[in-house]
Amino acid sequence: MGLDRNLQRPVRLTLKRQSASYYIDGILKQDRVILSQAITLIESTRKEDYQLAQEVIEGCLPHTGNSTRIGITGVPGVGKSTFIEAFGKELTSQGNKVAVLAIDPTSQSSRGSILGDKTRMNELATDANAFIRPSASGNTLGGVAQKTQESLLLCEAAGYNYIIIETVGVGQSETEVKNLTDFFLLLMIAGAGDELQGIKRGIMEMADAILINKAEGDILPLAKQAQRAYKNAIHLFPPKDSDWIVPVELCSALNKTGIKEVISIIESYKNKTTINGYFEENRNKQQIHWFTKKLNELILQDFYNESNNQDRIEKLKQAILSKQISPFDAANKAIDR
C-alpha cells in the first residue's frame, strides 16, 4: 500500500515479487533496498504474499537475536524523532548500525498514515549505517504495527545491532512495545503541567529509564524539578524482576547533551541483566507471548470464518437487540458453553 499526494488515502501499489532466496541473500548482504522490499512483502495483506513472506523470515531466523532492541515512547510533543536522530547519530559515530522502526498512527476514517519520520530525521536518514522504516499502525493496539516483530528480525539479519522502535505515543494500550524490546525508554518533558499526571503509572512502572528531554535554557530548572519528582515516584513502585533500579536523567536532543549517558545506561542494563539471566528470560517470555497472541488471533479468525458460526452469531445478535438474552450469556452460547 502507498499514499496519494494528500498523504491520507491508501493507494495499492503493484510490486513484482522475487524468490525467497533473492530477499534472504540481499538481506544477509546488508542491501538496504532489498531489506525495504522484504519488509514491504511481510507487511502485505495479500494472501498470495503470506507464504513467501514466511519463507523469507524463516531463512533469516538463524541470523537474528544479536541486537539490542530499544523501545522509545513518550507524550506528544516530547521530541521523540529529534531524540532518536541525535541518539542514532551518536550510535553510528561509535561504529554501530542502527535501524529505526517508526510506527505512525493510522486514521480510523481514511485508513491512511502520514509516515513522515524520515523527513523529521534528515541526518539519520542519509547515514550509511542507519535504516529508517516508517510503518502504519493499522488496527493494531499498543503503538506497534502488526508486522513490527518480523521487521525487527529482518533488520537483525541485515546486521543492525541496535534496533529502535518509536511508538505512536503514550496511551492506554501503548504497553505492547514492551513485549518486543530489551530496554524501554520513556521520554518526558517538564513545564507541561503536573508531570506525574501526564502519563499512566503502568507505563512508568515498565520503563527501564526515564529521560526528561528539552532540559535546556529557561526550562532547565523545571526539568531538574521534574527529575526529583520522578525519582521520588520511582521509589514507590515495586522492585523490578530484572533487579534494575530505574534511572531518571536529563537531556537535550536539540543540543545533543545527555545522549552519550543514555547509551551508557543501556549498556549497563544489558550487562547487568545478561549476568543475572533476566535478559534471556525476558526474550524467551516475549517469544511465547507472540506465539500465544498469534494463536489466539488464528483461532478467532477460524471461528468467525465458519459458516455455521456466522449464522449462530447473527441470530444471537438479534436476540441481544430484542432483549431476549444478555450479551454475556450470548457469548457463552456462541461457543456452546
Where does the pLDDT of residue 10 fall: very low under 50, low under 70, confident under 90, or very high at 90 and above? Answer: very low
Burial class of residue 8 (count of CB atoms within 10 Å of its CB; 0-12, 13-18, 19+):
middle
Q: Which three cell numbers stand for residue 224?
A: 531538574
Do 152 and 239 lie in one domain? The reply is: yes
What are the pLDDT digits (tens) for 31-79?
999 999 999 999 988 888 999 999 999 999 999 999 999 999 887 789 9
| C-alpha pair distances (Å), 74 with each of 12, 166, 236 | 32, 9, 21
Query: Please, are residues 100 and 131 in contact by the beta-carbon 8 Å criterion?
Result: yes
Q: Which residue has the cell 525467497?
A: 20
Report the alpha-carbon distance of residue 185 to residue 191 in Å, rounded.
20
Do 205 and 307 lie in one domain? The reply is: no
What are the pLDDT digits (tens) for 257-306?
999 999 999 999 999 999 999 999 999 999 999 899 889 988 998 888 88
Task: Give 322's contacts (C-beta < 8 A, 6+ positions apart).
Answer: none
**Which residue type does 289 have?**
H
Report the alpha-carbon distance of residue 42 to residue 64 in Å, rounded.
16
In a domain, 25, yes or no: no
Average pLDDT over the chain reads 85
Do 217 and 327 lie in one domain? The reply is: no
Q: Which three cell numbers stand for residue 307?
A: 459458516
Where does the pLDDT of residue 203 fall: very low under 50, low under 70, confident under 90, or very high at 90 and above? Answer: confident
Query: Please, are residues 194 and 83 in contact by the beta-carbon 8 Å criterion?
Result: no
In a domain, 31, yes or no: no
Task: Give 192's contacts (C-beta < 8 A, 6+ positions apart).
Answer: 75, 77, 198
Where does the pLDDT of residue 173 fall: very low under 50, low under 70, confident under 90, or very high at 90 and above? Answer: very low
pLDDT higher than 80, residue 202:
no
In a domain, 98, yes or no: yes
Look up the CATH number of the domain holding residue 166.
3.40.50.300
Total number of domains in the chain:
2
- Of 60-64, 182-186, 229-233, least confident by mean pLDDT is 229-233
Do 109 and 194 lie in one domain? The reply is: yes
In a domain, 241, yes or no: yes
In a domain, 324, yes or no: yes
Do 310 and 216 lie in one domain? The reply is: no
Which residue has better confidence, 309 or 248? 248
Do 317 and 207 lie in one domain? The reply is: no
* Residue 311, domain extent: 287-334
